[in-house]
Amino acid sequence: MDGNENPGPVRTSLWRNARLATLREDLGTLGVVESGVVAARGERIVYAGPEAGLTSELARADQIFDCEGRWVTPALIDCHTHIVHGGNRAREFQLRLEGATYEAIARAGGGIASTVEATNALSVDELVAAALPRLDALLAEGVSTVEVKSGYGLNVETELKMLRAARRLETLRPVRIVTSYLAAHATPPGYQGRNGDYIAEVVLPGLAAAHAEGLVDAVDGFCEGIAFSPAEIALVFDKAKSLGLPVKLHAEQLSDLGGAKLAASYGALSADHLEYLDAAGAAAMAKARTVAVLLPGAFYTLREKQLPPVEALRAAGTRMAIATDCNPGTSPLTSLLLTMNMSATLFRLTLEECLAGVTREAARALGVLDETGTIEAGKSADLAIWNIDQPAELIYRVGFNPLCERVFKGERVSR
């Protein structure tokens, strides 16, 4: 700004006659405020609470919206997605239903290799175009913050392309995008059996290059027998630490390698999946304030039997978030409302855990809790206004979208 510009007065907005589920922890279950009001100056909330507490100045807002008694929650947050990718695996899904084994599909060039190939074939523009319908599906359900990972390039050029596409999404839709660099997702064909070389030659230099371009908000990895060992992930985390970047990890999805404990030892934002997590891992995460991100879409799609240790996480006081894990192979899911229902039905999470898991705790898992995730003064005015009579309707229905309106940074947005 050149200093001569007059930005004009900041507009104040008011949402009145609302039943607020603020998700503020100091206000009890769901942080409910009946007869509530939210006031925003520009994009910031300046007051959220009972009508009675509204100052006369704020009551004379530039624009006033009557919520007609509707429930208002923080806008939703999908804290684990792979929405930027090429192609899809619908044909593979069909073949599996007809009896083909995973091995036969992999031999025929299917599985993650097909997504890597399809992703490498696309330009940034094409990756953006492919991701937009998935993003729009999320936004239509009141989502305003989406985490997006790289991890289907598996070479420096395409890992960067994926992250550039993720950043571009934020310029095309009213949404906050948070990126994760996930080159340590799988070993590409040329490096089979040489994970160390792949990390040294691709993952680490790619991270430095992506960071230099401002593309990385956090660094992720896949710690699993079919992916990378804890020692290999530690090399990636050390590099992240040297660059001042926070880390997170796909851990304990198919077996217990101690990935969550490793992540906690680096003060990770989150460890995700966690079906095979043990009580010691849950305790280590609680101590490090590492959020447990549960992903029921992958559990469902893979028809897993091993449930995440929800009781152990509760007992340890580990924070829990939930997310779609939207990806073409194991969770082709673009509904956070359905994710909430699955978390309740499959994992027996409570209403409070489900709703906090897509708002406050999801914001915590992304390191953006100061900015969004609850409805309170000082935060971005990111709201979801719902046509429901009680919050439990958000987790009870299957395949029904009761969103009335979404507000992002103080602006009403159509989607």
CB of 185 vs Zn ion, minimal distance in Å: 8
Chain centroid, CA 235 distance in Å: 24
| Nearest to Zn ion of 151, 281 (CB atom) | 151
State which of positions 330-369 bind Zn ion (CB under 5 A). none
CB of 176 vs Zn ion, minimal distance in Å: 19
| Nearest to Zn ion of 325, 376 (CB atom) | 325
Which part of the chain contacts Zn ion (CB under 5 A), choosing from 127-135, 309-317, 324-332, 365-373? 324-332
Q: Any idea what the Cα angle at residue 231 is, between residues 228 and 234, rounded to 5°?
A: 95
Which residue, judged by CB position, is nearest to Zn ion in the bound state? 325
| Nearest to Zn ion of 288, 323 (CB atom) | 323
Report the first-to-last Cα separation within the chain, whole angstroms: 30
CB of 327 vs Zn ion, minimal distance in Å: 6
CB of 35 vs Zn ion, minimal distance in Å: 41
CB of 118 vs Zn ion, minimal distance in Å: 17
At 55 the three-state DSSP class reads coil
Which part of the chain contacts Zn ion (CB under 5 A), choosing from 97-105, 135-143, 320-328, 359-367? 320-328
Nearest to 292 by CA among 303, 307, 281, 300: 281
Q: CA 297, CA 335: separation in Å to the nearest integer?
A: 10
CB of 82 vs Zn ion, minimal distance in Å: 6
| Nearest to Zn ion of 252, 325 (CB atom) | 325
Distant-in-sequence, close-in-space partners of 401: CB < 8 Å, separation ≥ 6? 140, 141, 337
| Nearest to Zn ion of 80, 211 (CB atom) | 80
Contact string (CB under 5 A) for Zn ion, positions 162-201, x = contact: ----------------------------------------
Which part of the chain contacts Zn ion (CB under 5 A), choosing from 50-58, 236-244, 318-326, 387-395? 318-326
| Nearest to Zn ion of 325, 382 (CB atom) | 325
At 45 the three-state DSSP class reads strand
At 353 the three-state DSSP class reads helix
| Nearest to Zn ion of 294, 385 (CB atom) | 294
CB of 326 vs Zn ion, minimal distance in Å: 9
Which part of the chain contacts Zn ion (CB under 5 A), choosing from 162-170, 252-260, 321-329, 347-355? 321-329
At 375 the three-state DSSP class reads coil
At 413 the three-state DSSP class reads strand
| Nearest to Zn ion of 33, 219 (CB atom) | 219
Q: What phi and psi values does residue 243 have, to the nearest 5 degrees? A: -95, 0
Distant-in-sequence, close-in-space partners of 194: CB < 8 Å, separation ≥ 6? 187
Size of the site for Zn ion (CB under 5 A): 1
How do beta strands 76-78 and 71-74 pair? Answer: unpaired
CB of 283 vs Zn ion, minimal distance in Å: 24
Report how far apart, in Å, the C-alpha atoms of 192 and of each of 107, 154, 195, 251 are.
Answer: 14, 12, 7, 21
- Residue that is written with structure tokens 């992903």 in the block: 295
Q: CA 377, CA 398: separation in Å to the nearest integer?
A: 33
Which part of the chain contacts Zn ion (CB under 5 A), choosing from 55-63, 104-112, 325-333, 406-414? 325-333
Which part of the chain contacts Zn ion (CB under 5 A), choosing from 17-25, 113-121, 322-330, 338-346? 322-330
| Nearest to Zn ion of 325, 361 (CB atom) | 325
Report how far apart, in Å, the C-alpha atoms of 266 and of each of 99, 167, 247, 284 are.
Answer: 43, 26, 7, 11
CB of 188 vs Zn ion, minimal distance in Å: 17
CB of 126 vs Zn ion, minimal distance in Å: 22
Q: CA 395, CA 337: separation in Å to the nearest integer?
A: 7
193 class by beta-carbon count within 10 Å (0-12 exposed, 13-18 middle, 19+ buried): exposed
Q: CA 176, CA 167: separation in Å to the nearest integer?
A: 9
| Nearest to Zn ion of 159, 325 (CB atom) | 325
Binding interface with Zn ion (CB under 5 A)? 325
